[in-house]
Amino acid sequence: MKHGRWRFLAGALVPALVLHAVFVLSPYAQAFYLSLTDWTGVAGEARFVGAGNYARLGGDSLFLDAVRNNAVMLVVVPLVTIGIGLFLASMMHLGGRGGRRAIAGSGAYQIVYFFPQLLSLVVIAVLWGFVYNPNNGLLNGALRSVGLDGLTRSWLASPSLALVAVMAVLVWSSVGFYVVLFSAAIDSIPRELFEAALLDGAGGWATFRTVTLPLVRESVQVAFVYLGIAALDAFAVVQVMTVGPGGPDGATEVIGLSLYRNAFQYGKFGYASAMGVALFFATLTLAVLALRSGRRERLELA
C-alpha cells in the first residue's frame, strides 16, 4: 500500500510539475534576468547592462504614454464598471418588495447583461471597431438618425476621444459579469436587515449606503482587483481596434502593446522584458494594496 501511494503521488504530480517548470516557472525566472541584458535574440549575444533598460524606459515617450494610459484606465474602468454594476444590481432588488426580492424579470436581464463576458476580446474589439466606424458605424448612424449630426465623430481617430472609446468598450464588456456577482452578494444578505431598514424609514439610497454597500464590500474589492488587472492589460482591444495600433499619437498605447512591439517587431527582447518586469510590479502592487485594505475589518453576520 505504501509503495502504491508514492507511485500514485509521483504519477499525479510529476507530469504537471514538469509542464509547469518548463512553460511557466522558467520563462518567468528568465524574464527577470533578460531584463538586465541587451539581448536581441541572437544566441550567445546577451550583454549584461544592469539597470540600463530600466533607465531607458524613463526616457521612452511612447512607453510613458502607455503607462499614463494604463494608469487612467486603472482608475476609470473599475470605478465606472463597479458603479454601473452596483447600480443595476441594487436596482434589481430595490424594485422588489421590502427592498429585498429581485424584481420580476431580473433573471432575464442578467442573462442579457452577462453575454459579452463570454466573448473573446478580439470579437468585441472587431465588433466595436464597426460600431465606431465614422461612416457606416452604428454610433454615428444613430446620432444621424436622431438629427444630432453635429455630434458625430471619428471616435478612434481623434486623440482626445480614442482612449475614452477604448475604455467604454472595456466597461461595456464587463458590467454584466459584475451585475451577476453583486446581485448574488445582495441575495445572500439576510432579509431581516432590509426589513429593519425599511421599518426605520430608510429610503432607497439610505438602505443602499448603510445595508447593501457594507455587506457587499468583499465582492467590490474582488471586482477592483479583477478590473484593475484587466485595465493593466487591455492589449487585445487596443491592438485589434485602434489605428496604428496604439491610436493616434499613442493615445491608446498600453504597456502590453509596447512590450509586444519591442519584442516581436523590433527584436529588443531585453528591453521588452524590462517592460514585463515593470508590469509585474504594477500588478503586484495592485494586488497587495487590495488585499491589505480587505483585511481591515470583516462584518460578522450572526
Which parts of 133-152 interact with another protein (CB under 8 A)? 135-138, 140-142, 145
Q: Which region among 59-67, 148-156, 209-217, 278-286 touches another protein (by CB under 8 A)?
A: 278-286
The binder of another protein chosen from 175, 234, 238, 251 (CB under 8 A): 175
Cell (9 digits) for 192: 431581516
Least Å distance between CB 160 and another protein?
Answer: 23
Q: How far apart are CA 205 and CA 198, in angstroms?
A: 12
Cis peptide before 245 (omega within 30 of 0): yes
The residue with cell 539597470 is 51
The binder of another protein chosen from 153, 164, 189, 280 (CB under 8 A): 280
The binder of another protein chosen from 46, 193, 215, 222 (CB under 8 A): 222
Q: How far apart are CA 136 and CA 144, in angstroms?
A: 11
Least Å distance between CB 74 and another protein?
Answer: 13
Q: Is 103 in the site for another protein (CB under 8 A)?
A: yes
Residue 37: strand pairing partners: 48
Residue 267: φ, ψ to 5°: 70, 20
Least Å distance between CB 166 and another protein?
Answer: 15
Q: Closest CB to another protein among 119 and 213?
A: 119
State how far Cα 222 lies from the chain centre.
12
Helix/strand/coil (H/E/C) assignment for every residue in 226-292: HHHHHHHHCHHHHHHHCCCCCCHHHCCCCHHHHHHHHHHCCCCHHHHHHHHHHHHHHHHHHHHHHHH
The residue with cell 521612452 is 60
Site for another protein in 223-262 (CB under 8 A): 226, 229, 232-233, 235-236, 239-240, 255-256, 259-260
Least Å distance between CB 299 and another protein?
Answer: 16
Least Å distance between CB 199 and another protein?
Answer: 16
Site for another protein in 178-217 (CB under 8 A): 180-181, 184, 187-188, 204
Q: How far apart are CA 123 and CA 117, in angstroms?
A: 11
The residue with cell 480587505 is 294
DSSP annotation of 41 reads S
Least Å distance between CB 271 and another protein?
Answer: 10
Q: Closest CB to another protein among 26 and 293?
A: 26
CA angle 55, 32, 40 (to 5 degrees): 70
Q: Is 91 in the site for another protein (CB under 8 A)?
A: yes
Q: How far apart are CA 290 and CA 297, in angstroms?
A: 13
Least Å distance between CB 188 and another protein?
Answer: 7
Q: Is 298 in the site for another protein (CB under 8 A)?
A: no
**Amino acid at site 289:** L
Least Å distance between CB 129 and another protein?
Answer: 7
Site for another protein in 106-135 (CB under 8 A): 106, 109-123, 125-131, 135
Could you tell me if residue 44 is left (phi over 0), alpha (psi between -120 and 50 degrees) or otherwise beta? Answer: left
Site for another protein in 13-32 (CB under 8 A): 13, 15-17, 19-20, 22-28, 30-31
Residues 39-78: x where in contact with another protein by CB under 8 A, - otherwise, as a string: --x-------------------------------------
